[in-house]
Every structure is written in C-alpha cells, then in structure tokens.
Amino acid sequence: MSNAIRILVVEDHHVVRQGLVALLSVVDGVEVVGQAADGAEAIKEYETRHPDVTLIDLRLPKLSGVEVIQKVRSDHPHARFIVLTTYDGDEDIFRALQAGARAYLLKGMTVDVLISTIRSVHAGKSCIPPVIAQKLAERMATEQLTHREQDVLEQIVRGKSNKEIGSELEISEATVKTHINNLLGKLGVEDRTQAATAAIQRGLVQLESKGDVRI
C-alpha cells in the first residue's frame, strides 16, 4: 500500500495495543508499520519507521507520552501525533497539546471517529473534540500553580505532613502552610484531601502506582 497512511501504535497494555493493530490492519488506506510498549521503544520505532501518524497513550513506562512527543518533535518538527488515552484531566490535555499533539482522543471514541481523526491529522489538521476543548478552555482560565506550589501539591498527594514537606523541600512549616493556602484557593478546594483528589483527576500530579497515594 504505497499511498497508505503509515501508523505507529504506542500503547503499554498488550491487549489494547494488539486490538488497535488488528483494527487498523483492516482499514483501507491505513498501514500499521510499527508498535511500541514504552516511551523509549516508541522513540526508537519512530526513528526506524518514520510513520506518517503516531497513536500514543499518555501513561507509558520509561518515558511518558508527552515526553515522547517532545523528544521526537525536537528532531522532527512535523511529526504528527494523536493522543489516545483514558485520561481527560485538563492538565493532561494541556501538556499533550503544548508538546505538539495534533489530536486528543479518549479510548471510548468510536472506530469512525478514530479513522476520521487519523485521516484529518495526516492531512495536516488538528482535531480536538468539543468535550476536550471545553476542558482545555477551563484550564486556560484557571490561575496556575507556581513551581513551589506544584512541589508542595505533589507531596500532599503522597500523604506527607507539613513537617515532612518542609524537610523534603528545605523550607519552614510556616512557608509550607502559606503554599498550601495558596494552592487550595487556586484549585478551588477546601482541604488537603480535596486538593489531592483534584490533582490526580486533573493530571496535575502523575504517580507511578496507586500505592503512592495516601490521602
């Protein structure tokens, strides 16, 4: 299929990845030229295959989807990525699109939407579903956390006390309390538990495993 759209599928869950490969293999005008199960492998496959479009999940071993997009596009600015994920947090969306993804799809989408998005992205267009655009707009309208507030939030999600946070970040407990009050206001929540929940739901804090969460 010399004129087919050449696809690279990047997904760490074997069954999901094989399902996508099988699905795309029977679509006219589309050819799966490679697949990868982690971020590092994705970069190697891209350099080897030079696909027209890459389907990529956000949460991957070794390197995240956003990191893969950033690294590939630093060498190949015209590389076209479609994020295909279960995560719909506004920060996840923002980071992916900021990195250069052309489309952001949730895994509950229909086959027709997936195929039409692949063809549109291959044609140089961007595809952002209305629900994703709305979340992105909400994120852009929200006051952003400072780097230090982000650091404190990550420690809160990991269940650290103010004293432990202060020790970890080498700041006083009073300063920790100030950062917590500020980030609670910015997140629109009332306490640490709500802050941790919002951080995970929005994609502000990404954890390696559920065991990292103690709220």
* pLDDT of res. 187: 85
* pLDDT of res. 138: 72
The pLDDT of 18-40, averaged and rounded, is: 95
Going by C-alpha positions, the residue among 173, 186, 174, 177 that lies closest to residue 146 is 186
pLDDT beyond 70 at 179: yes
| Average per-residue pLDDT for the chain | 89
For residues 53-67, one letter each, b for 16 or more C-beta atoms within 10 angstroms of the residue's C-beta and e for the rest, the string is bbbbbbbbeebbbbb
pLDDT beyond 70 at 61: yes
Instruction: Quote the percentage of the chain above a pLDDT of 70.
Output: 94
Confidence band (pLDDT; 50, 70, 90) for 3?
confident
pTM for this model (two decimals): 0.70
* pLDDT of res. 1: 54
- CA 211 to mean position of chain CA atoms: 20
Give residues with Cβ within 8 angstroms of 125, minimum separation 6.
Answer: 102
Domains of the chain from N-terminus onward: 5-139 (3.40.50.2300), 147-212 (1.10.10.10)
Residue 80 or 204, more confident: 80
The pLDDT of 177-181, averaged and rounded, is: 93
pLDDT beyond 60 at 195: yes
pLDDT beyond 70 at 2: no
Q: DSSP string covering 25-81, please?
A: HTSTTEEEEEEESSHHHHHHHHHHH--SEEEE-SS-SSS-HHHHHHHHHHH-TT--E
